[in-house]
Chains A and B, each alone.
Chain A
Amino acid sequence: MEPELRIQKLEKSFGSLKVLKGIDLEVNAGEVVCIIGASGSGKSTLLRCINLLEEAESGHIWFEGKDLMDLGTDLNQLRQRIGMVFQSFNLFANRNVLDNCTVAPITVKRLPRAEAEALAEKQLTDVGLKDFIRADSRRLSGGQKQRVAIARALCMAPDILLFDEPTSALDPEIVGEVLDVMKRLAGEGMTMVVVTHEMAFAREVSDRVVFMDGGVILEQGAPQEVFGHPREARTREFLSRYLEDI
C-alpha cells in the first residue's frame, strides 16, 4: 500500500546552519507517529516542512501521490488536507471560537455558513467546548485554546494532522485535557504526526516512535522497542532524562 506521506532525502538549512540532513520517513494511513528528540534536533522544522510553512532546499514530500516540493503542485489544495496544530495555538484573535473554526471552510471550501457552523459546532462539542462556542478566543485558557485549534483543524476534514509540540505551552495540570482529545483522535484512526516531549503519551498512543538527533532520524520503531530497548547510545542518553516519566 502506498504510504499517506513519504518524505525522501529532505534537506533544510537556516543560513549556514543545516537543520535537516536528509530525512527519509514514511507515514501510513491511520498511523500515529511521534517524533521525539532534544530541542534543536530538527523535529519542528521537519513538521513545518511537511506542509511547507518552511521551504526545504531539496528532497521530496509525497502526500497522497503528489510531490509538495514540485513547483507546479497546488499547495493550498494539499494544505486543506494536512491539518496543523501549533505550540502557541495561533487562534485568530479577531474572531470568536466558532468563527475561528468556520472561516477556513467558508473561504476555502466555499461551504454555506449554516453548514460550516453546524460542522464547527459538532467538532467543538467533540473537544468539550460546547459552552464556549460564542466565547472570545482571546479569553480562553491555554488548554481550551489548543482544543479550539484542534477543532479548527478538524473542520477542514484533513487526512493527516500534524501536531507541533501541542502541549509545551500548557501547564502540567491542563496538558491532560489536550492529550485526551488527541488520544480520541488516534483511536478514531486519524493519521497523526506528533512532535512531543510527552514520553508517556508517545509510548501509550503512538504506533511508531521516531527519534531525531542533529538533523537526522537516528532510530525509529514501535514504542516498546524504542523506549524499552533503544539501539543507539544517544537515544538511551536522551531517554534517561525522561525515565521518571515513563
Chain B
Amino acid sequence: MSKLRNYFEKDRRYEFLTGTILAALCVPLWAGTPCALSFLGADGVLLRVLQAVCALFAALALLALAVKATHWRGYAGTFLKRPGMVKLARIFYWMVVLAFALTVTDRLALSLIDTVRGALAAEKNPDGFIASMVYMFWNSRSFFWYGIGVTVKIALLGTAIAFLLAVLMAFLRIQKPARQDGDLVRFLKKLGRGFAHVYITVIRGTPMMVQALIIYYAGFGLFKGSGMTVTEINRVWSFFISGLFTVSLNSTAYLAEVLRGGIESIDAGQTEAARSLGMTGWQAMRRVVFPQAVKNSVPAIGNEFIINIKDSSVLSVIGVMDLMYATSSVSGIYYSTLPIYCVAALLYLILTYLSSLIMKGVSHKLDTQARDLPSSN
C-alpha cells in the first residue's frame, strides 16, 4: 500500500504513462449506461469536462512521446522539461486521476449501490447477475445465517475437540518403551503407537466425504442394533452430531501430526536438561516441551480451523445444514446455479479471511509465524 502511495506522490518518471492508462480505462466506463444514481449522466456537462481533460492529457502525452522519440538524448533540454511545463503536466496528471476516480465512483460504485438497492426492493429474482446474487442472498438470509452458524460451530467445536484428542494421539505416537518397563507396559506402548500410526494413515488417506458417510451410517446402524426407533436415533445421532464427529475425528489425525512435529521440533537438549534436574519424562514434557510445542503449533492449528470451515462443506452430503446445505436449498428454490454458488463462495471467503485475520492477530501476540490462507487437506 505504501509502495502505491509512494508511486503516486513521488515517482514522476511514469506520469504520462500512468495518466494515459487511467484515461484509457475511463473510456469503456463512459460507454456503459449510467445508473439512476449517476451524477455524470450519459452526456452531462461534467462528463464532457472529464472527457476533455483526459483527451488533452492524452494529446500532451503523445506529444511528449514524439519529442522523446526525436530528442532521446537531449530530452532534458526540450520545452517539456521547463519548470512551467513540468508543473502544468503535473496538474493535468492529477486532474486525470480525479477524473478517473469520479468515473469509477459514478459507473462502478454507484451502479453497485443502485443494483443492490434495486435487488433488495425487487419482487422477483432480477435478471442481472449481481442483482440476482443480492436478491437471493437477502431473501434467503435466514437460511444463510443458519448455515453460517452451523459451519462456524462445527469448525470451532470440531477443531477444539480434535485438539484435545490430537494431544492424546500425539503422545501415543511418540511414546517409547523405557528401560524399566515390564513386558505388559512395553506391549501396551507398542500397541498404542501402532494404533496411532494406523489411525493417522487411514484418516489422512481417505476423503472426508467418505468418512462422513461411513460414520453417519455406522452410528445409525449401531443405534438401530440397540433397538431404538428411527425417531429416537435422529434425536441422539443427528446429522449435526455425526458431522461434528466426522470433523473432529478427521482433524485429530492432522493435528496429531502437527503436534508431533511441534514436540519433535523442540531441541532434545531441553528435555535432557529437565531430566538431569530430576524431572520425570512426563514432568519435562508438561513443564518444558509441550507448552513450547503448542505455542509453535498455533499457526498450524489456526490453519486447521480454516480448513475445517471450508471442508465441512462436504458434510452437506449427509444432510448437515451448514452453509453449503443452505446454498443448495436456496439454489433449489430459485432454480439458480451460478449466482448462488458465487454467493456461497463469497460467504466462505469472508469467513476464512476473517478467521485468518484473527489467527494472524493471535500469532502476532504469541510471537509466532502466521501463514497465508491454507490449501485444503
Contacts and interface: CB of A to CB of B under 8 A. Distances in A.
A193 to B, nearest CB: 13
12 contacts: A79-B277, A82-B276, A84-B276, A90-B267, A90-B270, A93-B266, A94-B288, A94-B295, A108-B279, A152-B277, A153-B276, A156-B277
A84 to B, nearest CB: 4
B287 A107 contact: yes
B329 to A, nearest CB: 48
Contacts of B279: 76, 104, 107-108
Nearest to A149: B273
B42 to A, nearest CB: 66
A88 interface: yes
A91 B291 contact: no
Which size class do B's interface residues fall under?
A: 20 to 34
Interface string A79-115: 1111110101011111100000001100111000000
Q: Which of B179, B274, B277 has the most CB of A within 10 A?
A: B277
B273 A86 contact: yes
A56 B267 CA distance: 23
Contacts of A103: 274, 287-288
Contacts of A76: 278-280
A117 to B, nearest CB: 16
Interface residues of A, number: 30
Nearest to B286: A107
Nearest to A71: B180
Q: Which of B267, B272, B283 has the most CB of A within 10 A?
A: B272
Q: Which of A77, A86, A103, A107 has the most CB of B within 10 A?
A: A107
A79 B276 contact: yes
Contacts of A88: 267, 269
A76 B267 CA distance: 21
B272 A156 contact: no
Contacts of A77: 278
Interface in B59-75: none
Interface string A51-90: 1010100000000000000011000110111111010101
Contacts of B276: 51, 53, 79, 82-84, 153
Contact of B269 (A81, A90, A109): A90
A55 B288 CA distance: 23
Interface in A13-44: none
A109 B272 CA distance: 18
A55 B179 contact: yes
Nearest to A53: B272
Contact of A104 (B179, B180, B274, B295): B274
